[in-house]
Amino acid sequence: MKQLVLMGAGHAHAQVLLDWARAPVPGVQVVVVSPQALAPYSGMVPGWLAGAYRFEEIVINFPALCARAGARWVAAELQSLDAPRRRVRLSTGEELPYDLLSLNVGSTLDEPVCPGATVLPLRPLSALHTRYGALLQTWADSAAPAAGTALQVTAVGGGAAGFESLLAVLARLRSLQPGREITARLVSRGAQLLPGIAPAARRAAWAALQRAGVQVQLGQGWPLGEADARTDLLLWATGAQAQAWQRDPQRRGALAVDEAGFVRVDAQLRSVSHPQVLAVGDCAAWGQPLPKAGVYAVRMGPVLTQNLRAALGQGEPRRYTPQHHFLALLATADGRAIASRGRFGLEGAWAWRWKDRIDRGFIRRFAATGPASTPLVHPGDPA
């Protein structure tokens, strides 16, 4: 019997399992490996941070999805990879042989040192749940400080993660203790807020930050000068980094990676050095660099599914073509959202309702019982 190992509980692997539940490949055992059983859907994380969703509403239950697909679930992390021998060593000490390996392990962030501050990295999402819960509990239990002493919240990163997470966390903290003063700032090394979105959407984003009382400092890295470096809460939302094993030549072995450690793949999502290894989402390096955004992992899912089947003798492989334009829906944590696609941008309560309907519909697919029968295309991500 052949063995397909799905390493990581990412959006693309969830789609593979849903398709497998509908039509498994005979003679193939699927093994899914991830340290976390509940995988948050990135599109709903800002809403959860703001308190619009419970954590259980935004996650994919991978053990349940595995049971539905007849796959084996293993709670572990990848320790090292021996691609020539087709074996992975897990954090549990177990060695798994594979005929085909798919990597959907996401990205991470190295946590900065910030004395006196609570640091909350926005990646990996699986670790965010526990740390954010502890932060909210501490905040809810704490007494108000002396008059004139405000809580300083700083987000570092001018992309969607920094923008949405800062607004969401501010809204949540203010709702828990309305009388306490909170000051906020967003710091980015880049010269532009939210690069890549429509001009009208960017203007709406500036307005949302202004409504929330956020000071924006562009063209500056962290830490700032000594006089400005103090903060009580640091939201770390800088550029994504490859997993530690990908950056370590001893642990990744002969697998080809780019200079940052991301797995180099071809047009069929196969490793350029070992075609029995496929990689998708944040952990992969496309020929032309792609933003590390969940929208790409979601759209890679159907291609990955078809190409895994083809590699196992069912059908023909398919090329992945990144979308040139996609719909971005940014939550502003005030009952509204900003919609951006190409040159067009709008904002309003209707955009939040639209985003909520799309996201709930996407996550509902993986919670349903019975075999899947609908196409695995995210309705909010047109090509």
Residues 232 and 129 in one domain: yes
How far apart are the C-alpha atoms of 73 and 1, rounded to whole Å?
A: 18
Q: Which pLDDT score is estimated for 225?
A: 55
Q: Which pLDDT score is estimated for 38?
A: 94
Residues 172 and 209 in one domain: yes
The domain boundary, picked from 201, 236, 271, lies at 236
Q: Which pLDDT score is estimated for 144?
A: 66
| Whether the Cβ atoms of residue 263 and residue 103 lie closer than 8 Å to each other | yes
Residues 227 and 268 in one domain: no
The tokens describing 133, both together, are: 């819960």
DSSP bridge pairs for 339: 329, 346
CATH for 73: 3.50.50.60
Question: What domain range is 31 assigned to?
Answer: 2-107+241-322
DSSP conformational letter for 10: -
Answer yes or no: is 371 within a domain.
no
Answer yes or no: is 338 within a domain.
no
Residues 43 and 132 in one domain: no
HSE-up of residue 298 (Cα within 13 Å, Cβ side): 21
What would the pLDDT profile of 295-306 be if each residue is shown by its tens digit? Answer: 777 888 999 999
Residues 231 and 257 in one domain: no
Residues 219 and 155 in one domain: yes
Read off the amino acid at residue 369.
Answer: T
The domain boundary, picked from 178, 202, 236, lies at 236
Please give the radius of gyration of the chain, using alpha carbons only, rounded to the nearest integer: 21
The tokens describing 111, both together, are: 């946590």
Kindly give the parts of the chain with pLDDT less than 50. Answer: 370-383
Q: Which pLDDT score is estimated for 148?
A: 58
- Indicate the pTM of the whole model: 0.90
> In sequence order, what DSSP letters do the residues of 61-110 get, joined into one string?
EHHHHHHHHTPEEEE--EEEEETTTTEEEETTS-EEE-SEEEE----B-P
Residues 230 and 251 in one domain: no
Answer yes or no: is 376 within a domain.
no
Residues 273 and 221 in one domain: no
> In sequence order, what DSSP letters do the residues of 12-76 get, joined into one string?
HHHHHHHHHHHSPPTTEEEEEEES-SEEE-GGGHHHHHHTSS-GGGSEEEHHHHHHHHTPEEEE-
H/E segment holding residue 151: strand 151-156
The tokens describing 130, both together, are: 């526990």
Answer yes or no: is 25 within a domain.
yes
What would the pLDDT profile of 107-136 be if each residue is shown by its tens digit? Answer: 999 888 888 899 999 988 878 899 999 999
CA angle (288, 380, 59) in 5-degree steps: 95
How far apart are the C-alpha atoms of 227 and 219, rounded to whole Å?
A: 17
Calculate the average pLDDT of the chain. Answer: 90
Q: Which pLDDT score is estimated for 239?
A: 82
Answer yes or no: is 23 within a domain.
yes
The domain boundary, picked from 236, 255, 276, lies at 236
How far apart are the C-alpha atoms of 58 and 42, rounded to whole Å?
A: 8
Answer yes or no: is 45 within a domain.
yes
H/E segment holding residue 251: helix 249-252
Q: In 10 A of CB 150, how many CB atoms?
A: 12
Residues 164 and 247 in one domain: no
Return the closest-CA partner of residue 311 out of 256, 264, 274, 285: 274
Which residues does 343 contact at the CB level (< 8 Å), separation at least 6?
198, 199
How many domains does the chain fold into? 2
Residues 199 and 252 in one domain: no
Handedness of CA 60, 64, 70, 73 (dihedral sign): positive
H/E segment holding residue 174: helix 160-176
How far apart are the C-alpha atoms of 307 and 383, rounded to whole Å?
A: 20
How far apart are the C-alpha atoms of 58 and 35, rounded to whole Å?
A: 18
What would the pLDDT profile of 38-68 be if each residue is shown by its tens digit? Answer: 999 999 999 999 999 999 999 999 999 999 9
| Whether the Cβ atoms of residue 353 and residue 52 lie closer than 8 Å to each other | no
Residues 157 and 84 in one domain: no
Residues 7 and 79 in one domain: yes
Read off the amino acid at residue 291.
Answer: P
Answer yes or no: is 365 within a domain.
no
Answer yes or no: is 345 within a domain.
no
